[in-house]
């Protein structure tokens, strides 16, 4: 089922999400719905608060191949954050807005998959590293807009007024 994506200004996007205590059928359904919603919106990642849930769940598919390969990460924890990459980011919750964000290049993400199994994802840079950090930020109520430098924030504010 496709879910409604909340947009910036909705206070549900600013909530610190709670860990998922157990991967139940309900959680699996939510993750599957989030994947459907992400593809329908042509996004590369989606976090639970963007669809109004306060649970620590992210889904993503950095589209490194033509075939769809959606991944679910429940209670994600990032570690081994090293290096630096800088690139344009947007967000399904901030339609029409973009900006350059500095992120860590190397990321290790651990958490549970939709079967409740422990998984480890390592990324050396590129879209996957950015997506993991962008989506995990959502679980702590942080939007990419918060990570822009002051000059870019000013530009985005002006663009938003024009939208």
Q: Rounded distance, CA 103 to CA 86, Å?
A: 6
Q: Rounded distance, CA 84 to CA 36, Å?
A: 31
Radius of gyration of the chain, Cα coordinates, nearest whole angstrom = 15
Catalytic machinery residues: 135
**CA contacts within 13 A on the Cβ side of 152:** 15
Q: Give the nearer residue to Zn ion in terms of CB position, either 5 or 112.
A: 5
Q: How far is the CB of 43 from Zn ion (least distance, A)?
A: 8
Cβ contact 58:27 at 8 Å:
no
Q: Give the nearer residue to Zn ion in terms of CB position, either 60 or 114.
A: 60
Residues that bind Zn ion (CB under 5 A): 91
Q: Which residues are CB-neighbours of 161 under 8 A, at least 6 positions away?
A: none
Q: Give the nearer residue to Zn ion in terms of CB position, either 57 or 91.
A: 91
Q: How far is the CB of 41 from Zn ion (least distance, A)?
A: 11
Q: How far is the CB of 157 from Zn ion (least distance, A)?
A: 18
């Amino acid at each position: 089922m496709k879910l409604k994506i909340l947009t910036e200004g909705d206070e549900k996007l600013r909530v610190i999400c709670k860990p998922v205590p157990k991967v139940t059928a309900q959680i699996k359904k939510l993750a599957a719905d989030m994947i459907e919603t992400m593809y329908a919106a042509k996004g590369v990642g989606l976090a639970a608060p963007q669809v109004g849930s306060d649970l620590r769940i992210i889904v993503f598919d950095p589209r490194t191949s033509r075939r769809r390969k959606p991944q679910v990460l429940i209670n994600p924890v990032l570690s081994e954050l090293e290096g630096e990459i800088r690139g344009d980011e947007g967000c399904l919750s901030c339609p029409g807005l973009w900006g350059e964000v500095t992120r860590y290049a190397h990321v290790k993400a651990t958490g549970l998959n939709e079967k409740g199994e422990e998984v480890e994802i390592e990324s050396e840079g590129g879209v996957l590293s950015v997506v993991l950090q962008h989506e995990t930020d959502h679980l702590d109520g942080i939007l990419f807009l918060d990570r822009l430098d002051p000059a870019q924030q000013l530009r985005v504010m002006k663009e938003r007024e024009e939208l």
